[in-house]
Amino acid sequence: TVSQLETIKEEIKTKHVELLHLQFVDIEGTLKQVTVTAEQLDDVVEGETMFDGSSITGFTPINKSDLYLLPDLNSFAVLPWTEEADYSEARFLCSVTNPDGSLFEGDPRNILKKTVDEAKEKGFSINVGPELEFFLFEADDKGQPTQQVHDKGGYFEPAPYDLGERVRLEIYKTLKKMGFTIEASHHEVAQGQHEINFKFDDALTTADNATTFKWVVKTVAQQFGLRATFMPKPVFGENGNGMHVNMSLFDEKVGKNAFYDESDSRELSETAYSFIAGLLHHVPSFVAFTNPLVNSYKRLVPGYEAPCYIAWSSSNRSALVRIPATRGAGTRVEIRCPDPSANPYYAYASIAAAGIDGVEKSLQAPAETVDDIFSMSDEELEERGIENLPTTLGESIQALESGEIGKKVLGEYALNEYLSLKQDEWDSYRIAVTEWELDRYQAKF
């Protein structure tokens, strides 16, 4: 709107913003940007900034490479670490458009928007609150990350064991200035591991926030001479980095959380149970989005608070889907397999689509799993019908290809780009000869 633009212009003037970074993400969720001078603002908001789509992973072929950036005015933020007395920089997150002004079908933001719009037509808005974990590592004298964790603190330990407290404080201050509502932060289970939680919001805003969050955490860590990583399993034998996704549907017609029903024994609605059933039914076919790396599957093993079986529970942290105790407006499901290397736009879109498919088809949730799944024998798992999540990227690519969710959410074009990227990654890993193999086999055989 005009007034929103006027407010932005005002801030540009008072904060002496000289440069504008126009940001978007590629199909892996990796942040990209082109920088323009603030004098270009009027042209920029008209969507007149062109770039080469063929140089962005998964975008366009070389013969149709011109794409344009359309800034989302809601995402305007002055970058706190650039602010000086009479100078600063700001950014916009952008949607990608075709030369004729239509939305580019390969842009992850557009893809999530489409899922959000489809849910709106069915009477639901989607709320998402993610929990992103990360490690802080020391850097070497060339500035590269080492394998040396930054501290020896553990779960909920305070300083002086927690050496990351100042880093988290600076991340908090930075994000707060950029408009985030930060709710909590703590040292996580593994040495050098941390978590900072920001408030839930609608799915698109939250995917934008997750993208910004990862960028800010890495930027601030670097200011402390450290390197932050959201890699799912950076240290063998320790907890990995999760991105639990808390999701709820809001019923637009009655103006209430659609998962809450006080008359049910667990105070969950039919919609909630069917949403859970949809998640459990479709999860194998969307883990290639929520757990996109070869390394993601080294986190999904028993014993590290990450799920490896397809089950739900109202409290059990060994289950894939947990229902946090909050009820009323805060009633939600927590899906625990995603990790923070996921493209958040694809992750939230595919989770929502899976759950909503369950709602539309009135799928019935299986029995709740109250016992610790990690300690069940294979026979017990089979008796209860509890199946495994895919155990490799190769398996999850196959499930994505044969499942319904990928095509429904991404469409044919973007899905094929994603599948071929991931297939290449898996093939490259599959034929690599690793340190582990040489250690184990070279001398013996």
One residue of 26, 28, 107, 133 binding ligand GLN per CB under 6 A:
133
* Shortest distance (Å) from residue 305 CB to ligand GLN: 4
332 binds Mg ion (CB under 5 A): no
Give the list of residues 6+ apart from residue 341 with CB closer than 8 angstroms, or none. 230, 231, 232, 241, 291, 292, 293, 295, 296
In the bound state with Mg ion, the residue whose beta carbon lies nearer, of 6 and 372, is: 372
CB of 194 to ligand GLN, least distance (A): 11
Taking contact as CB under 6 A, which single stretch among the options 30-38, 304-312, 364-372, 437-445 is the one that binds ligand GLN? 304-312
- Round to whole Å and give the CA distance between 438 and 432: 11
For position 195 contacting Mg ion by CB under 5 A, the verdict is yes
- Report the residue number whose CB is nearest to Mg ion: 244
- Confirm if 195 and 185 have CB atoms less than 8 A apart: yes
Segment (H or E) for 347 = helix 344-360
| Residue whose CB is less far from ligand GLN, 137 or 304 | 304
Find the shortest distance in angstroms from Cβ 408 to Mg ion.
Answer: 27
Which of 58, 153, 242, 292 touches ligand GLN by CB under 6 A?
A: 242
Q: Which of 28, 89, 107, 131 binds Mg ion (CB under 5 A)?
A: 131
Q: Is 139 helix (H, G, I), strand (E, B) or coil?
A: strand
List alpha helices for 123-191, DSSP H.
165-177
Give the shortest CB-299-to-Mg ion separation in angstroms: 12
CA distance 236 to 403: 31
Active site residues: 52, 131, 133, 188, 195, 244, 317, 334, 336
Kindly state whether residue 335 participates in binding ligand GLN, applying the rule CB under 6 A.
Answer: no
CA distance between the termini of the chain:
70
**339 lines the binding site for Mg ion (CB under 5 A):** no
Asked if 168 interacts with Mg ion (CB under 5 A), we say no
Neighbouring-strand partners of residue 78: 90
| 112 half-sphere exposure, CB direction, 13 A CA radius | 27
Residue 157 binds: one of ligand GLN, Mg ion, none (C-beta under 5 to 8 A by kind): none
> Of 114-122, 174-182, 237-245, 324-332, which part binds ligand GLN (CB under 6 A)?
237-245
Quote the CA–CA distance of 333 and 125 in Å, as a whole number.
Answer: 15
Taking the least distance from each CB to ligand GLN, the nearer of 194 and 281 is 194
Q: Which is nearer to ligand GLN, 242 or 284 (CB)?
A: 242
Establish if 238 lies at the interface with ligand GLN (CB under 6 A): no
3-state secondary structure at position 299? helix
Task: Give me the 111-130 binding string for ligand GLN, x by CB under 6 A, dash otherwise.
Answer: --------------------
- Report the site for Mg ion in 43-82 (rule: CB under 5 A): none
Contact 94, 101 (CB under 8 A): no
Strands 309-310 and 387-388: antiparallel
- SS3 assignment, position 125: strand
89/162 with CB nearer ligand GLN: 162
| C-beta of residue 366 within 8 angstroms of C-beta of residue 310 | no
Q: Report the candidate in 248, 260, 237, 285 with the shortest Cα–Cα distance to residue 398.
A: 285
Give phi and psi for 56, each to the nearest 5. Answer: -105, 130
- Measured from each CB, the residue nearest to ligand GLN is 242
Q: Within positions 180 to 209, which residues make up the interface with ligand GLN, using CB under 6 A? A: 189
Looking at beta carbons only, is 68 or 172 nearer to Mg ion? 172
Nearest distance, CB of residue 133 and Mg ion, angstroms: 5
Q: Which two tokens stand for residue 101?
A: 């002004």
Smallest distance, Å, CB 323 to Mg ion? 12
E strand spans, 252-373? 256-257, 309-310, 312-313, 321-322, 333-335
Using CB under 5 A, pick the residue from 21, 244, 298, 422 that binds Mg ion. 244
Using CA atoms, how far apart are residues 194 and 229, in angstroms rounded to an integer? 10
Q: Does residue 240 belong to the site contacting ligand GLN (CB under 6 A)?
A: yes
Q: What is the DSSP letter of 394?
A: H
**Spatial distance between the Cα atoms of 114 and 58, rounded to a whole number of angstroms:** 18
State which residue, 170 or 195, has the beta carbon closest to Mg ion: 195
Q: How far is the CB of 393 from ligand GLN (least distance, A)?
A: 17
Angle between helices 393-402 and 270-290 (to 10 degrees): 120
Residues within the interface to ligand GLN (CB under 6 A)? 133, 189, 239-240, 242, 299, 304-306, 336
Residues within the interface to Mg ion (CB under 5 A)? 131, 195, 244
